[in-house]
Structure 1
């Protein structure tokens, strides 16, 4: 095999590895291309001793670090909120790579991984939401509650959509968990620079989540109606 053929073979292998790594879900978020390239680079270099379950645990540790940042900011100094940025990166690292590395190594446990991923995502949301609740205080505490509730609503939509369409997507149009992490990082930095701004950003984020969820719920119901009609037609044709 000459140099050109070897180079072509390596490119083809990289393409196949990438397809296998992302074959379990459809992504539509803004950062999809950049994120997938980063994940592809990381899974190729991850030591074999690092298992998908270990990465899931790392993602959870990131959420705990975000919680710790909120608590330290509340009782010590507001600048501890910046711990949350590191926590969100660690959470992304573990949460994004656990399933991807399982598919890359061709050792996926589809339903085990799916179940664990959903549970860990919900626990992470609760941890971060609790930290936000402790920090924000007073009449704006309801904002923290609504953020967790609306994010949970979005998670439910993604699971029901998977049931109806057999296609799993964690994004709502151009926005997904990665974009949300970036927005939260920006909010944390803003709060350190302008104390008190977080509560208003929280209101805006809750309003945005509410509108997005309403739109996604309407679309979900339309998909459900189409599937009902298709199943009725299939049943009628089978008689």
Structure 2
């Protein structure tokens, strides 16, 4: 969810306009200064990925009781720390490996969202087809971001004033509501309110992909690229 540098980092314009971006950046810089030498970007990446796996496990295990959802809160904290700190620490220590970091980080992002939404789909709260629709929407928007980095030299990290951290807070709130409201059919019968919410978010992601693709396509046409 949070990137390391692109191979052409010197030319890449990182567009990050989410609400918490500035506050989070200051926090990460202060944390980097306190990290011991044995904490490396690769270890942070692994830690974040382990957190994502824990989130997925918490959702899946909630079939045995809602208390298992508490694992997801721990997992989200681990995932934020590892995913947000790996690139920040590399830049802070001036030990960037742009091509390696970019490749590994975004590959782990794909696994992260698979763990989270796969686990959510395996839970009693969200059906698997809705969770997979959300996975498709997220990956489509990710593909657009990676393509834009290649053809426009821009890596867009936020949409509608929301970025990875805001998305985590949204998922934490959704999980809290799962614990409060419980599983089972809602006012729409077999379709629960959680399905509707996740499906709506997925639809927004797909719409954003279409709009951003049209916008970038028109821009490239004007540039003659």
Normalised by the size of structure 1, how large is the TM-score?
A: 0.80
* Alignment partners' CA distance in 1, 2:165 and 2:222: 30
Is the contact made by 2:54 and 2:72 (CA closer than 8 Å) also made in structure 1? yes
What RMSD, in angstroms, separates the aligned Cα atoms of the two structures?
1.8
Please name the residue that 1:66 is paired with.
55
Is the contact made by 2:48 and 2:78 (CA closer than 8 Å) also made in structure 1? yes
The offset of 1:136, in angstroms, is 4.2
* Alignment partners' CA distance in 1, 2:166 and 2:146: 19
Q: Does 1:51 align with 2:40?
A: yes
Q: Which has the higher contact order (CA 8 A, sep 6+)?
A: 2
SS at match of 2:42: helix
Q: Does 1:214 align with 2:210?
A: yes
Is the contact made by 2:62 and 2:124 (CA closer than 8 Å) also made in structure 1? no
Q: Does 1:204 align with 2:200?
A: yes
Please name the residue that 2:27 is paired with.
38
- List gaps (5 residues or longer) in structure 1: 1-22, 232-239
Deviations 1:51-100 (A, max 9, x none): 100000011011011011012201x2112213212211211111111111
Q: 2:111 aligns with which of 107, 123, 148?
A: 123
- List gaps (5 residues or longer) in structure 2: 1-11, 184-192
Q: Does 1:167 align with 2:163?
A: no
Distance verdict in 2 for CA 1:215–1:82, change over 3 Å = farther
Q: 1:223 aligns with which of 206, 219, 224?
A: 219
* Alignment partners' CA distance in 1, 2:53 and 2:13: 27
* Alignment partners' CA distance in 2, 1:82 and 1:137: 15
Is the contact made by 1:172 and 1:216 (CA closer than 8 Å) also made in structure 2? no
Please name the residue that 2:18 is paired with.
29
The offset of 1:141, in angstroms, is 2.3
SS at match of 1:25: strand
Distance verdict in 2 for CA 1:221–1:136, change over 3 Å = farther
Is the contact made by 1:136 and 1:199 (CA closer than 8 Å) also made in structure 2? no
Larger proportion of helix: 1
Please name the residue that 1:100 is paired with.
88
Deviations 1:163-191 (A, max 9, x none): 12212232224111111111010000011
The offset of 1:130, in angstroms, is 1.3
* Alignment partners' CA distance in 2, 1:85 and 1:225: 45
Please name the residue that 1:79 is paired with.
67
Deviations 1:8-65 (A, max 9, x none): xxxxxxxxxxxxxxx9733111111111111111111111110100000011011011
SS at match of 1:211: helix
Please name the residue that 1:235 is paired with.
none
Deviations 1:202-236 (A, max 9, x none): 12211222222222222222232233x1x5xxxxx
Q: Does 1:158 align with 2:137?
A: no
